[in-house]
Amino acid sequence: MPNPKSMKRVLVGVGGGIAAYKVCELISTLFKSGVEVRVIVTSTAQEFITPLTLATLSRHQAYTDEDFWQAKYSRPLHIELGEWADLFVIAPLTANTLAKLAHGMADNLLTNTVLASTCPVLLAPAMNTEMWEQLTVQRNWRDLLTDSRYHGMSTASGLLACDRVGAGRMAEPPEIFAYVKSLLHTAGKRDLIGKRVLISAGGTREHLDPVRFIGNPSTGKMGLALAQAALHRGANVTLVHGLASWNAPLGVQAISVISAMEMQQVMLEYLPNADVIIMSAAVADVKPRDYSLEKLPKRSLPQDLPLEPVPDIIAQLARQKQPHQKIIGFAAQNGDIVKPALEKLQKKKLDAIVANPIDQPDSGFGSDNNKAIFLDNQGRIMVIEPCSKLEMAHHLFDFI
C-alpha cells in the first residue's frame, strides 16, 4: 500500500440517479490506484445504491444526511470533509443538485460540503435527455462552470434507462477516473484555456492490396493520453488517429485516418488554427510503390516488394508553422535514445521532442506506461521516470 502521507484524497458525492451504480467502479478503481476515498451518498441516491456497498468499496464509512444531522463528530462533518479533500467528484450530478450548486444553496450534507470546501470539483451529470436539454438546466450548467473551481464533463449520447436515445448519459467510469488523475496532477489549473491543440496518434497502414499492408504495433495510447491531458487543462483538442481499439474522450474532435497520406492531409488542414501540434503518431516511413484494388493471389505477390517514401509529415508541419506555434515530435528508439532524438529535433526544426525507449519493459508501443527524456531547442533536458502515459502527457505540457 502507498504511504498514507503521500496519498491523494478524493471525496465522491453520489447523486440520486440510476447511473449511481456506475460510481462503484470508479470508487474501486480509485482505491486500487492508491487514492484515499471518502463517499457522501444523498438520500435519493440510497434508493439506487446502499451506503454499505460504497463503504465496502472505499474501505471507509459512507456518509449520509443522517450522519450530518447527528452531533457525533468532534467537528462539523461538512467542514471536516471539505477540508480533507484534495478533489471533490459529484457523479451522477442530478438536475436538482446542479440547481442547488448554481445558486449557492445548501440543504444536505453534499451541498454543504461543497460550500465548505475550496478544492476543485469535478461534475459528471446524468439525466433524461429532455431534462438535460431544458433551458433552465443548461443555464444552470453554464453559470456553474463560470466558477473556475468547477470542471464539467460532457454527457454522452446513447440509449438511456428510460429507453430514450439521446444526450444525458453519464461519462463512463474510466473517463471520469482519467479526469480525476489529471486534476490531482494539475490541482485544477486550466493553463490551456483558449489554446487549440492538434495531436496525431497511433500507427498508419500503407496497403499493398485491400488486406495486406506495412504497419507497426503502435496503439495510439500515448496520443489518447495527450488528448485527455490537453482537454482536462482546458484546451480545444483535435485528435487525428490511426485505427484504434479505444474511443476518443468526450469533448475531443477525433478524426480517423488509415494512411500517412490521409494523416498528412488532415494535419495540414488543421495546422493554421493550432497553437500546439504534437506528432505522437508512429507514421510509416515507406509504402508499397504499387497498389492493387483487388486482393493479390499468393502466387502473384512480388518476390521483391518495390517501396517508395511516404510524406515526412512533421517536417512539412515545421516548415509551415507560424512563430506563435509550437511543434513537438516523438522519437521511439532502442539503445541510445538521446542522440537520434537530438538529430531529429535539429534537422526537422522542432520546438521539442520526446525520446522514449521501445526496448525496455513497460514502455513504448502498447504499454499503459512509459518513460522518456524530453529535449527542446533551448537545450533543456528533462528525464521522466516510469509513469502512466497520462502522467507523462501532463509532464510534457508542464515542460512546453
Residue 90, annotated as binding a ligand: no
Helical pair 221-232 and 173-186, crossing angle rounded to 10 deg: 60
Nearest to 330 by CA among 134, 199, 209, 156: 199
Indicate if 24 belongs to the active site. no
User: Could you give the CA distance from residue 109 to residue 76 in angstroms, rounded to a whole number?
Assistant: 10
List 24, 119, 162, 387, catalytic entry: 162
Residue 371, annotated as binding a ligand: no
Residue 40, annotated as binding a ligand: no
Question: Per DSSP, what are the bridge partners of residue 157?
Answer: 167
Residue 285, annotated as binding a ligand: yes
- Within 10 angstroms of residue 272's Cβ, the number of other Cβ atoms is 11
Question: Per DSSP, what are the bridge partners of residue 14?
Answer: 41
Residue 349, annotated as binding a ligand: no
- Here the cell at position 94 is 442530478
Residue 376, annotated as binding a ligand: no
Q: What angle do CA 34, 396, 271 make, to 5 degrees?
A: 135
Where do we find the cell 474510466? Answer: 174
Residue 258, annotated as binding a ligand: no
Kind and range of the H or E element at 138? helix 135-145
- Here the cell at position 203 is 500507427
Residue 302, annotated as binding a ligand: no
- In this structure, what are the phi and psi dihedrals at residue 217, rounded to the nearest 5 degrees? -85, 15
Nearest to 236 by CA among 254, 253, 215, 211: 253
Q: What angle do CA 147, 15, 115 make, to 5 degrees?
A: 40
Residue 295, annotated as binding a ligand: yes
CB 63 within 8 A of CB 79: no
Query: Which residues, at least 6 apart from 316, have a Cβ–Cβ distance to it below 8 Å?
Result: 264, 268
CB 88 within 8 A of CB 120: yes
Own/partner long-range contacts of 3-8 (Cβ < 8 Å, ≥24 apart)? 4/36, 7/34, 7/35, 7/36, 8/34, 8/35, 8/36, 8/86, 8/87, 8/184
Binding site as annotated, residues for CTP: 285, 295, 311-314, 330, 344, 348
Binding site as annotated, residues: 285, 295, 311-314, 330, 344, 348
Q: Looking at the annotation, which residues are catalytic?
A: 162
